Amino acid sequence: DATNSSPRPDGFIPVGTIQELDKKGSIFNSQLPALIIHNSKNSPDISAFNPTCPHAGCIVKWKANKEEFICPCHGSQFRADGQLMKGPAHQGLKAYLTKVEANIILVKT
């Protein structure tokens, strides 16, 4: 079950399927928390981040059309690779390791 977020022996946690990511454009897992995105600029094209804004802890949103993350609280912006573009945050988003096995997306926090 892809929605059961318990870690595997290798520490990777299933967060959803490729089909789900294709359909929704991003997957938010509030438990980890993790925000998984598809993007054309990074390689591999699936990336996962801790979506907690380093400024004051709001959850950033992925804007697929602009390929950037935006924080709804005070407007910090981050690139598709998590790097800080615009404050008030002082640092970027933490990236998680990702891998795909049999259409299941796995992340390691």
Q: How many CB atoms lie within 10 A of CB 56?
A: 12
Phi, then psi, of 70 in degrees rounded to 5: -130, 135
Q: Which is nearer to ligand FES, 18 or 73 (CB)?
A: 73
Stretch that binds ligand FES, among 10-18, 37-45, 54-62, 94-102 (CB under 6 A): 54-62
Q: Which of residues 24-53 bind ligand FES (CB under 6 A)?
A: 53
Select the residue interacting with ligand FES from 26, 29, 50, 76 (CB under 6 A): 76
Distances (CA, A) of 61 to 6, 7, 58, 102: 24, 25, 10, 27
Binding site for ligand FES (CB under 6 A): 53, 55-58, 71, 73-76, 88-89
